Amino acid sequence: MVDAFRSELLSAVLKIWRGETHESGRFEIYEVPFEPGQSVLDGLRWIRVNRDPSLAIRFSCINANACKECMIQLDGETVYACTARLEPREMVLTPLPNKRLVRDLVTEIAPPSERFATETST
């Protein structure tokens, strides 16, 4: 019973890279309620619903590691946000450094052959 009460008081602090380029962005810090077993994706979705709907994240599955769309850097390591566990500490989330940044944590992950062709004016 004491552990259940204690977990209600814990929070994770997510320090998240925001911006449209790797060079000119900034970090924003969000405090997220922590419950054991939550994924980093759960924390990001909580932020979108409760604090900042403008946070750009990409995901398709929930805790299945099947789509590969939620790849980010967590404390400098490449992870899937749906399987990485949220922890009651500061966690630094950044976009993949070797991919073209779309915005915030969203990077271009589709191979060039699978991307929509950009229209050119004639």
Ordered by where they begin, the domains of the chain are 7-109 (3.10.20.30)
SS3 45: helix
Distance CA 55, CA 18 (A): 8
The answer to whether residue 120 scores a pLDDT higher than 60 is no
The answer to whether residue 110 scores a pLDDT higher than 70 is no
Query: Which H helix or E strand runs over 94?
Result: strand 90-94
**Is the pTM value of this prediction over 0.85?**
no
Query: What is the structure's pLDDT at 16?
Result: 98
Distance CA 17, CA 7 (A): 27
Query: Which H helix or E strand runs over 52?
Result: none
